[in-house]
Structure 1
């Protein structure tokens, strides 16, 4: 009789416990509903893989938005920069492709690869050279015959298969930055961590911009940091942006260089803070 009573109490306890668990689960929000809520920190693709909507080009010697030589093109979901329609000489027809939005605090992620041969007549430094530019001046303020826009540049290099040729330097075009709290007046400062990538492999670069502090990453590894960018008053174009003695560079556009070597970009994503 005692064993039967114990068995009955165990079954009753199990049933009550099960009912409590089921009731609690029903009160919890469904996971699907939580996942559908838009996160405040969400990556956004800013290249649609179809065309250049949302982007504007400026090539030295040509009016804003004139895509001379079909320099910037979209093929097979890839943003390509090419020089095959330039004729026998590249000249100084350097350019940039601007994303049409002013940005302040954000993280940019880009996948790129160098391909093909350097354009005929390119400068010696143009071999597998390009750049991702941040805090770039507004595209409509770039002068007709201005070689490069005022900006901070994450310098992109590609190896020749043998020699070390690291990427990731910070190049100030009309700008200065602080490195370890000291203002650098060098045009380019190499990355602290040297990484060279040979061939046509895809490489992921990221730039983090947060309250005047910048960091460069490659394939998830931090390789460079700097801060407090300012306009160079000795640069004929940069000095126009110094207002009432304030030379700080607080925001600007994202842009991609067209220098002299064919390059592809894909998965261009932005995370705004």
Structure 2
């Protein structure tokens, strides 16, 4: 074969090699199963890092939201934040609601918890703030007064585009079946760099939406908007496990970073 022909033969081969997909990012465990290293609690009425009654503990390899030292619910919403903000990623874990709700909760709090994401940093929350400005993948079980599926979206201080329009509703229901309290359920959340977000329950997609923004009508979001120079787009933030007055456990928490340079300052 002549040198000229060899050059032309190599070009298509190089093109094919160049088009080969990059290897898939590895899944990493962000909870070691033994300690809460790398996680920070923020409980309503207390400063970031304060958890004197042990709302968040580790039990048999799971993060347990425990109300064993609480006699009744008196507004102590809690969130356990992982240590760094994220942009594009997948997170997966298993959860199990168990036991009874604390006395004193409102009906919507029964059998209710969640995964907050694209959240403000815990130290930026007001001391008496109930929920971080964030998106929430809502985790529910039955029995509860409202027979709703799990894997829904709630939007404290935020909005999203759903079915082609910006949706003002605080919560948007998923297509997940009703699941009982006491059952371990597999959850996955996919957050893409282009703003598309998908919820999965037991391996099946149950909700899709896009283009999250800070809500200028929300007082807590207004502070974040001002800090961002007036920008509404919400492209990054922290993840946090929620406590709303019902006991829950989280285990096998794993993260797959889709943009290794995506970690930022968490400010939205």
Q: Is TM (by shorter chain) over 0.5?
A: yes
The aligned residue for residue 251 of structure 1 is 236
**Root-mean-square deviation (CA), in Å?**
1.5
Match of 1:268 among 242, 253, 257: 253
The aligned residue for residue 79 of structure 1 is 63
Q: Which runs of 5+ in 2 are unaligned?
A: 1-22, 259-268
Aligned 8 A contact 1:161 1:199 in 2 = no
SS in structure 2 at match of 1:234 = coil
Aligned 8 A contact 1:172 1:187 in 2 = yes
- Cα distance in 1 for partners of 2:212, 2:181 equals 33
- Cα distance in 1 for partners of 2:80, 2:206 equals 25
Cα–Cα, structure 1 residues 149 and 161, in superposed 2: closer, same or farther, change >3 Å? closer
Q: State the Cα distance separating 1:68 from its structure 2 match.
A: 3.3
- Cα distance in 2 for partners of 1:139, 1:153 equals 15
Match of 1:70 among 54, 57, 61: 54
Q: State the Cα distance separating 1:247 from its structure 2 match.
A: 0.5
Aligned 8 A contact 1:106 1:270 in 2 = yes
Cα–Cα, structure 1 residues 161 and 237, in superposed 2: closer, same or farther, change >3 Å? closer
The aligned residue for residue 213 of structure 2 is 230
Cα–Cα, structure 1 residues 165 and 203, in superposed 2: closer, same or farther, change >3 Å? same
The aligned residue for residue 28 of structure 1 is none
TM-score (norm 1): 0.82
Q: Which runs of 5+ in 1 are unaligned?
A: 1-38
Q: State the Cα distance separating 1:127 from its structure 2 match.
A: 1.1
The aligned residue for residue 182 of structure 2 is 200
The aligned residue for residue 218 of structure 1 is 201
Q: State the Cα distance separating 1:85 from its structure 2 match.
A: 0.6
SS in structure 2 at match of 1:267 = strand
Q: State the Cα distance separating 1:40 from its structure 2 match.
A: 5.0
SS in structure 2 at match of 1:245 = coil
TM-score (norm 2): 0.84
SS in structure 2 at match of 1:197 = coil
The aligned residue for residue 175 of structure 1 is 158
Q: State the Cα distance separating 1:150 from its structure 2 match.
A: 0.6
Q: State the Cα distance separating 1:126 from its structure 2 match.
A: 1.3
Aligned 8 A contact 1:230 1:249 in 2 = yes
Q: 1:53 and 2:37 equivalent?
A: yes
The aligned residue for residue 184 of structure 1 is 167
Aligned 8 A contact 1:216 1:225 in 2 = yes
Decide which structure has greater helix share. Answer: 1
- Cα distance in 2 for partners of 1:162, 1:60 equals 25
Number of residue pairs aligned between Structure 1 and Structure 2: 233
Show structure 1 runs of 4+ deviating over 3 A: 161-164
- Cα distance in 2 for partners of 1:105, 1:188 equals 23
